[in-house]
Structure 1
């Protein structure tokens, strides 16, 4: 049978188990050939998707699809609870440099069939309040997800997730409660530090990392999300030293949920900034690459001290 005979499969956006493909007339022996011919892509054990659809997805979409593919492929097993970065993806939390493996948590050892390279199993107790259902998937709650990630990721990665969750309304007290119940778990001390330093005012991973950069400098912390009036309307600054009239803005291409400012929004923003500059404000602008260099810290220090001395 030619590849063209599988046009229905090439146009599909479904995740397929081997048994489902067989029910559609695709023999088990034919599957490897369809993968070789670029019709199918194997996502993981017993989970396949049309290659054309898979290649059209962004990396973020692929990471989430792997989770739904695992759920689809393992429905005959005991239901899994998706946790850690997998739960973060399902909840829609921002991730930075995170792995794309599927993470599940069970209070017991689990099936040997789950001992595969792209699935990471965690064994830990789960209380009813640690569980949630999102888009038909059983996941750890937002609070439990944040703490699990903060324990197992780097400090900055955990801070990004924590800031986003706090902005979504998760209470810091609930995070501390989860961390307290995980006393003795690996990484819980880091998680407590992340929880304490998290800010609900950070509106993007870039702003979280900017805040982290500033917190490590020998300068007073600026205020965050400051609304300043101008002759052409109000302008909200990412960070501001009000006394020195220094505004610091993170100019990442996107914020949460792949939001990008429209040309009109950017025009109006620059118009208000011009009005602020007429009133004596100066702007420091950071991009992603600036967040990881000592030159950035040196530049901020230089601007801050120059303004402080001139105001004295």
Structure 2
């Protein structure tokens, strides 16, 4: 289970509402001057935060902070849901639309949409929500199921794999909650869009897959109908000595694939090592594996994922050329 954010994290910076600032003696003109001076940052109408905290956050963290402002200013109890629960779970948000904060009402009244906010009406059972980092958010299972109503397969798979890899939930638990929602009272899902992709994600999600790049590569394999590889495959020599783990492998073809993402190298940098040093070290590791096993390696990058048909043809040709020459 991932640890909550430390109290000093900028996403947890206190949100100050206009009414509170006015009560403390500030006028609207004074508040505007603080915004102009970059002391305060206006998150949305009537909500502010320290400008330095805002500047310290990435796009995902800023969404999480804005979501807190929505909850604090809400006239009813709100739970952060859908994509807006993801920052507090530390989940990747690749490709997702973060222009709107999503919340679910707890009073079962009809949801409404205002500028930058979508209120959902949903039947939240006790196990569907949890407190995290000082706010109430949807549980991992509820979050993953909700995500399928608003994101495509590739975007969802990135998040589903992360949740399962980080042991925030299991596929069995998600499946159990999904079946309960599907077969329970009609009010449980009557206001949800179609969730057909959930069935597919229950089959595709794999906790062995560790990164956004690997998840997107997995999605490419499925969409392009390539042979299914083994993720995080352990490579050993003829004597059984461990040589390393590779991202994906097709043992029947004696081929492995490595996703070449910069984040991967930054994550495993050794002391005093540059990203270029890590690339060279990784290349030597692959060469050693190939020399000692007789396998072949294919590498793909972020750029390759932008051309799935072309990349799939390259992989397919590599796999079956390997078989033909074996």
Calculate the TM-score normalised by the size of structure 2: 0.81
8 Å CA contact 2:108–2:122 kept in 1: the answer is: no
**Could you tell me which of 69, 79, 84 is aligned with 2:77?**
79
- Aligned with 1:216 (options 210, 223, 247): 223
Deviation of the 1:217 alpha carbon: 3.4
Structure 1 SS opposite 2:48: strand
Aligned twin of 2:305: 291
For the Cα contact (< 8 Å) 1:158–1:191, is it kept in 2?
A: no
Q: Distance in 2 between matches of 1:108 and 1:71?
A: 14
Deviation at residue 111 of structure 1 after TM alignment: 9.3
Q: How does 1:270-281 map to 2 (within 5 A)?
A: 270-279=283-292, 280-281=294-295
2:252 to 223, 230, 243: 243
Please state how far the C-alpha of 1:138 moved relative to its aligned partner.
0.7
C-alpha RMSD of matched pairs (Å): 2.6
Q: 1:97 maps to what in 2?
A: 95
2:153 matched residue in structure 1: 155
CA distance in 1, matches of 2:110, 2:179: 29
Following the alignment from structure 1 to structure 2, what is the Cα–Cα distance between the partners of residues 162 and 55? Answer: 29
Distance 2:202 2:80 in 1: 22
Q: Report the alpha carbon displacement of residue 208 of structure 1 after superposing the two structures with TM.
A: 0.9
How big is the shift at 1:166? 1.7
Distance in 1 between residues matched to 2:78 and 2:266, nearest whole Å:
32
CA deviation digits over 1:7-61, x for unaligned, max 9?
Answer: xxxxxx5421113323444212332343344443210132112334322322122
Structure 1 37/268 Cα, relative in aligned 2: closer, same or farther at 3 Å?
Answer: closer
Change (3 A) 1:110 1:205: same
Indicate conservation of the 8 Å contact 1:162/1:198, yes or no.
yes
Counterpart check, 1:120 vs 2:111: no
Q: Using the alignment, how far apart are the partners of 1:115 and 1:35 within structure 2? A: 27
Q: Report the alpha carbon displacement of residue 145 of structure 1 after superposing the two structures with TM.
A: 0.5
Cα offset for 1:233? 4.9
Contact 1:35–1:41 under 8 Å retained in 2 = yes
Point out the more displaced range, 187-196 or 139-148: 187-196
Structure 1: runs of 5 or more not aligned: 1-12
Matches of 1:235 and 1:84 in 2, distance apart?
Answer: 37
Q: Secondary structure at the match of 2:71?
A: helix
Q: Is the 8 A contact 1:45 1:73 kept in 2?
A: no
CA apart distance, 1:259: 6.2
Contact 1:150–1:159 (CA under 8 A) maintained in structure 2: no
> TM-score by structure 1 length?
0.84
* Matches for 1:1-312 after TM superposition, within 5 Å: 14-74=14-74, 77-100=75-98, 101-108=100-107, 115-169=113-167, 170-183=169-182, 185-229=192-236, 233-254=242-263, 260-263=267-270, 268-279=281-292, 280-293=294-307, 294-311=309-326
- Unpaired runs of 5+ residues, structure 2, are 1-12, 183-189
For 2:113 and 2:254, the matched residues in 1 are separated by 57
Deviations 1:92-127 (A, max 9, x none): 122211122221112546599x74212111101011
CA drift of 1:251 comes to 1.5
Cα distance in 2 for partners of 1:196, 1:202 equals 14
CA distance in 2, matches of 1:115, 1:162: 27
**Cα gap change, 1:267/1:25 in structure 2, threshold over 3 Å: closer, same or farther?**
farther
Three-state SS of the structure 2 residue aligned to 1:234 is strand
Match in the other structure for 2:187: none
Q: Relative to 1, partners in 2 of residues 1:58 and 1:302: Cα closer, same or farther, differing over 3 Å?
A: same
Does the 8 Å contact 1:162/1:195 carry over to 2? no
Contact 1:152–1:187, Cα closer than 8 Å, also in 2: no
